[in-house]
Amino acid sequence: MKKSVPFILVLLVFAFACKKEESTPSNVKTGDKLGLYFDKVDTISPKAEWRQSDSIDINKDGKIDIKFVVSALRAMNGYSASSGISITDSTFQFVATKDSLSPKILNKDEVLDNNQFWLFKKSFKLADDSKSALTQSESNYSYWEEKTGYIGFRNEYKKGNFKYGCLKISVASYSVIYLHEYSYQE
């Protein structure tokens, strides 16, 4: 009898240690840092160059997954200031706005699941403002301008299976992005 107790205990420990892999975990929320990779990142702004970019290897596979681009250019006949985000790995998707122009601004503690509008697109606008006296044209897109929020993303690491995460960013004056933190499911 005493010999079978350790064997049953080992079986129970093994059974609880192995859990089924889920493609849509219901407990992943924006702003969550438990069980996720977390990092603080710096500001992306044009500085001395008129165009600046920065990138992140979210899943640590040695390839760039997400790239931020900002630009600001002033000339006698107009100006242009813009910020954007690009997905460079086709296995990543963002929660997007219904018009597909931008990643949707999410609040803290929003659940990332299949009910969101997920989209892979090479390039998304965050904010854009330009005016040209030469061509008499003007454009303005201010969805993220002067806002702070979360961008939800997911990575299809295996056919039909996803790992979820989020970026917390702020966009200031059209051409400055503050990347406060990002989290990614391990």
- Mean pLDDT in order along the chain per 10 residues (186 residues): 39 30 54 56 58 84 90 78 90 93 93 91 88 79 90 92 90 84 84
Instruction: Give residue 50's pLDDT.
Output: 61
12 three-class SS: helix
Q: Write down the mean pLDDT value for the chain.
A: 77
Residue 127 lies in a domain: yes
Residue 123 lies in a domain: yes
Q: Which domain holds residue 169?
A: 28-185
Sheet architecture: strand order including 66-75: 51-56, 66-75, 78-87, 123-132, 137-141
Residue 1 lies in a domain: no
Residue 5 lies in a domain: no
Instruction: Give residue 129's pLDDT.
Output: 86
Residue 13 lies in a domain: no
User: pLDDT tens digits for 10-62?
Assistant: 323 323 322 333 444 446 777 765 445 555 565 666 554 566 888 888 888 89
Residue 3 lies in a domain: no
Residue 15 lies in a domain: no
Residue 92 lies in a domain: yes
Number of domains composing the chain: 1
Q: Tokens standing for 113?
A: 């699941």
From the list 89, 93, 85, the residue with the least C-alpha distance to 54 is: 85
Q: CB under 8 Å, gap of 24 or more: what pairs does 98-106 form?
A: 101/125, 101/141, 101/143, 102/126, 102/141, 102/143, 102/144, 103/151, 103/152, 104/151, 104/152, 105/143, 105/144, 105/147, 105/149, 105/150, 105/151, 106/30, 106/149, 106/150, 106/151, 106/152, 106/166
Instruction: Give residue 2's pLDDT.
Output: 46
